[in-house]
Amino acid sequence: MSAQQARGALLAQSGSGLRGLLTWWGHSLAAWLPASLRRIVVAGDERLWLQPQGDDVRLLLQGDAGPRELASLPLPLPAGSDPLQRVLHERARDLPRWLQLPDTAGLRRSLVLPAAARERLREVLSFEIERQTPFAATDVLFAGRLLQIRDDGQLHVELVVLPRTQFEATCARLGGMAQGLAGVDLITSNGQPLGVNVLPPASRGKQHDSWRWWNLGLAAVALLAIVLGMAQLLDNRRAAAATLKTQMQARETQARAISSERQRLLDTVEGETYLRAQRNDRPPVVEVMQALAQRLPDGTYLEKLSIDGDQLNVIGLSSQAAALVGKLEGAPQWTTPALSGALQQDPRTRMDRFTLVAQLAGKLPAAASSPAATSTAGEPR
């Protein structure tokens, strides 16, 4: 038998579909474990064989090293009591019980079935019982054993049949010891089991798993550890997010302060540029005052001189107030001089009080703004 055929046989005996694959995979992984650890991890690795022989029944413990006889009891046994509770230790009593009968007690037939029958092998074999044996399907216990997967994909299967009357008679002799059987197998003349379970699945006793509560507890601890780990991870993420948010807020405040300082600097620079432009666009105050001093006639006194934007305002007393406009015209520092309001005579000095306004002109060229040029401009032609 090739490796592929052996894998197919193991899959077929383990079950069909995903369950069979997982069973085969679990047994394959367990084969790599040490024997002591495999007995703990793999459920059903050990079993207790009940082997009737004549007037006695042998009790054999099936382990990794093979079957080992534990005791031998006389038959028949009482129906109401279970002698295994007395003759076996607690660990052996908890093992699944299997009845082992000689293959002469049943019938074996070789069949060739299509590959599609592998997924529903037991159902297919139930239809073959009446064709291959003299029994009806309801009168026997049966199982199928995959022997080979042929090259054309067909299955070489052995049908194993045990008459129900034979099984019930054996159980009657075993008494209470036959209760809760997990399986029934047949052995050949050389003492090798066939590796089948002719007991219907609904009638198989469930194995008591002494590690069940330990496994449930460990699973609960593992689940709790996963939940706590995820909660801790979530808390770490939240703390990291809060720290990042705090850092971002601090950096945002710092960025706002930097932006505010930058805007203030820009405003200062722009204001200075504007003032410099304004100063450069009109004549200096010294030139304006010098031009006024040169053009104002004698007997004129200034009380106030102010520059409001581009407007020159002059307030003072003069004995020649009416002639001031003509005196100030033609100056390069201002344009359109004019009196603002009526002249008022000061009773103390007998001079006229005047208010004169003019528009400041743009900045003069260097040659025009020199004192010589100003003096020339002020002289009458």
What H or E segment, with its residue span, contains residue 215?
helix 212-281
Strand order in the sheet with 155-163: 107-113, 155-163, 140-149
pLDDT attached to residue 20: 60
Among 47, 44, 53, which residue's Cα sits nearest to residue 23?
A: 44
More confidently predicted of 210 and 366:
210
Query: Quick check: 188 and 105 in contact, CB under 8 A?
Result: no
**Rounded CA gap, 12 and 317, in Å?**
130
User: What is the CB neighbour count within 10 angstroms for residue 132?
Assistant: 15
| Beta bridge partner(s), residue 163 | 140
Give mean pLDDT, residues 285-312.
86
> What integer pLDDT is reported at residue 89 of this predicted model?
66
| Closest C-alpha to 309, from 272, 282, 271 | 282
248 pLDDT more than 60: yes
Q: Which residue has the higher pLDDT, 266 or 176?
A: 266
Q: Please report the domains of the chain, with CATH numbers, ordered by start residue.
A: 44-208 (3.30.420), 285-378 (3.30.1360.100)
Q: Is the confidence at residue 39, as pLDDT, over 60? A: no
Q: In this predicted structure, what is the pLDDT of residue 78?
A: 73
Q: Which of 11-25, 83-97, 122-136, 298-312 has the lowest mean pLDDT?
A: 11-25
pLDDT tens digits along 206-218: 655 556 788 889 8
353-378 in b/e burial notation, b at 16+ Cβ within 10 A? bbbbbbebbebbeeeebeeeebeeee
Would you give the distance in Å from CA 300 to the centre of its chain?
93
pLDDT for 85: 67
pLDDT of residue 102: 92
Tokens 């009773």 found at = 347
Question: Is residue 362 predicted with pLDDT exceeding 80?
Answer: no
Report the pLDDT value the prediction gives residue 373, as an integer from 0 to 100. 42
Higher pLDDT, 376 or 250: 250
Question: Do residues 170 and 184 touch, judged by C-beta distance below 8 A?
Answer: no
- Rounded Cα gap, residues 121 and 115, in angstroms: 10
CA 191/CA 186 separation, integer angstroms: 9
Q: What average pLDDT is seen over the chain? A: 81
Give CA–CA dist 182/200, Å, rounded. 10
| DSSP symbol at 134 | S
pLDDT above 60 (res 353): yes
User: Between 208 and 57, where is the model more confident?
Assistant: 57
Q: How far apart are CA 16 and CA 124, in angstroms?
A: 13
* Contact yes or no for 207/45 (Cβ under 8 A): no
Q: Could you tell me which residue, 371 or 314, shows the higher pLDDT?
A: 314
* Angle between helical axes of 285-295 and 371-378 (0-180°, round to 10): 30
State the pLDDT confidence band at 62, using cuts at 50, 70 and 90. confident
Which pLDDT value is given to residue 1?
A: 39
Q: In this predicted structure, what is the pLDDT of residue 374? A: 42
